Amino acid sequence: MTTTGARETVLARIRDALALAPVPGPEIPRAYRTGRTLPDDERLTLLTDRLVDYKARVHPCTADRTAEAIAAILRERGARRIGVPDGLDERWLTAYEGEVQRDSADIPAPSLDALDAVVTASAVSCAETGTIFLDGSPDQGRRALSLVPDVHVCVVDLSSVVVGVPEAVARLVPERPTTLISGPSATSDIELERVEGVHGPRTLAVVIRTDA
């Protein structure tokens, strides 16, 4: 049998199988609980509680102190060379005295391991689960940038913090790549001993801008 003949045979069998396939089942109701809200201070408290429980480090500040907060974290971690998405707000780095590498697709992902830390923005955060969503926007960058360096400093605007998962998903663009972060990377070995840094940064520092 020729290659063309084999292809037609396979496609014909697929068409026959589809014709004999059962009718799709009933539509699944998706009446999720949505639209929940909480005052700013309660959302901040809930998100902070969840993040701390996940062993993340939380640094609330006002928007005009963003650069100082980021620089203090990087100084504490001894970060001399950091990576940032190409679209990150330059004003956030004015207090940092080390080397800054603007990321691009031309930089091989393995080489990001040479960075001491990465600083990104965020798309939305879920207070109830303590989850931060990155969507690959210019100020958040590609997924590798937030996963390879050992320290991730993530800036969250309180206005982007919602109560639950349905509210968070409703703010996302389905076509964009989404990375979900709930604390620093961690897993457990066979003896249930916690091991950090296996699948991403061992340290997650979250700067929450309370008036942004």
pLDDT at 3: 67
Which pLDDT tens digits describe the chain residue by residue (212 residues)? 566 788 889 999 988 888 887 777 788 888 878 899 999 999 999 999 999 999 999 999 999 999 999 999 999 999 999 999 999 999 999 999 999 999 999 999 999 999 999 999 999 999 999 999 999 999 999 999 999 999 999 999 999 999 999 999 999 999 999 999 998 887 777 777 777 777 789 999 999 999 99
What is the pTM (predicted TM-score) of this model? Answer: 0.84
pLDDT at 119: 98
In one-letter notation, the amino acid at residue 172 is L
Count Cβ neighbours within 10 Å for each residue of 67-98 and write b for 16 or more, e otherwise.
Answer: bebbbbbbeebebeebbbbeebeeebbebbee
pLDDT at 186: 77
pLDDT at 20: 83
Burial of 126 (0-12, 13-18, 19+ CB in 10 A): buried
Neighbour tally for 212: CB within 10 Å: 15
Tokens 């500040």 -> residue: 61
